């Protein structure tokens, strides 16, 4: 009886783990490039749709009304406007290392 319960529990755990996505898989998915329509690009960049249309933002004109923006190209375009010093991640790493050392 106890062995049956253990086997049932083991099977349930295996089924659960089969449905879990690893952090590595999640990061790989997030690293994939994707395309945004105008509304999505506006939301992603926090730049109004009108401003995105007026600026020289790299995009693909699929039809007279449909623009698509590639995420990696938006990131690259935005990086030209970066100001300031170190990246937040660099600062966090430096702080953590300082505490450890």
- Segments making up each domain of the chain, as ranges: 2-100
pLDDT score of 85 more than 70:
no
Q: Please, are residues 44 and 68 in contact by the beta-carbon 8 Å criterion?
A: no
Give the model confidence (pLDDT) of 55-75 as tens digits. 989 999 999 889 999 999 999
- The per-residue pLDDT for 25 is 75
Asked if residues 58 and 77 have their Cβ atoms less than 8 Å apart, the reply is: yes
pLDDT per residue as tens digits for the range 27-47: 777 777 899 999 999 999 999
pLDDT value for 46: 95
């Amino acid at each position: 009886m106890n062995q049956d319960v253990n086997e049932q529990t083991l099977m349930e755990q295996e089924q659960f783990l089969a449905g879990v996505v690893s952090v590595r898989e999640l990061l790989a998915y997030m690293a994939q490039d994707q395309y945004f329509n105008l509304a999505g690009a506006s939301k992603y960049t926090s730049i109004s749709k009108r401003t995105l249309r007026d600026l020289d933002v790299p995009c693909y004109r699929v039809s007279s009304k449909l623009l698509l923006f590639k995420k990696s190209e938006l990131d690259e375009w935005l990086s030209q406007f970066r100001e300031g010093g170190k990246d937040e991640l660099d600062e966090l790493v430096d702080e953590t290392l300082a505490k450890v050392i």
